[in-house]
Amino acid sequence: MLVDFNTLPEESKVWIYQANRSFSEPELEEIKNKLEGFITNWAAHGSDLQAGYDIRYKRFIIVGLNQRVASATGCSIDASVQFIQQLEKDYNVDLMDKMNVSYKQGEFVAYKSLVDFKKMAKQRAVSKNTIVFNNLVTNIAELNENWEVPASESWHNRFLN
C-alpha cells in the first residue's frame, strides 16, 4: 500500500539507493511512476506493505516501510532488490554499489569511489566538516538526524585522520 513518505512513523525501516549520477527530470517522472506501481503492489506473504518513497537531490531513492503494519520478508526484500536492479538497467545507472561516497560541495552533490574519497582525504580535499551522506541509516528518525552529517560524525571519519 503506497502512502506519502512523510506520513510514515519515525521507526519505519529505510533503504537508501544512491545513484552514481543525477537523474534528469524526465527520468525522475518515469522512476516515480515505477516506484508508485511497485510499492502499490508490494506485499509480504499476501499482506500489503505500507510503504512510501522519496527522491532527494535527484540521485537518492529512499524507500520507507512502516513495520507496525507488516514487516518485509525475504521474498519481499528480494522483490525490492530486483526492482532496483531493473531501474539500474533501465537508466544505465549504479544504485546498489555501497562502496561509493556521496558528499556535498556547496549545494552540489559529488559522487566518488571509496578509493578516490580516501585519496581526497589524504590530500585534504575533503575534511571532517565535509557534509557526507550516511546511507547506513536504518530508519526515518536516523535519516532525519544522521543522514547528512559532517564526515567527523559518520563512518567516513576513519579516512580523515
Q: Is 106 left (phi over 0), alpha (psi -120 to 50) or beta?
A: left
Query: So what CATH class is 5-91?
Result: alpha beta
Per-residue confidence in pLDDT tens, the chain, 161 aa: 999 999 999 999 999 999 999 999 999 999 999 999 999 999 888 788 999 999 999 999 999 999 988 888 888 999 999 999 999 999 999 999 888 999 998 889 999 999 999 999 999 999 999 999 999 999 999 999 999 999 999 999 998 86
What strands, in cross-sheet order, belong to the sheet with 108-113? 108-113, 100-105, 131-133, 148-150
Tell me whether residue 71 is exposed, middle or buried, using C-beta atoms within 10 angstroms of its C-beta: 0 to 12, 13 to 18, 19 or more: middle
Closest CA to 9 of 56, 92, 60, 69: 69
Contact 8, 52 (CB under 8 A): yes
Domain ranges of the chain: 5-91, 100-159
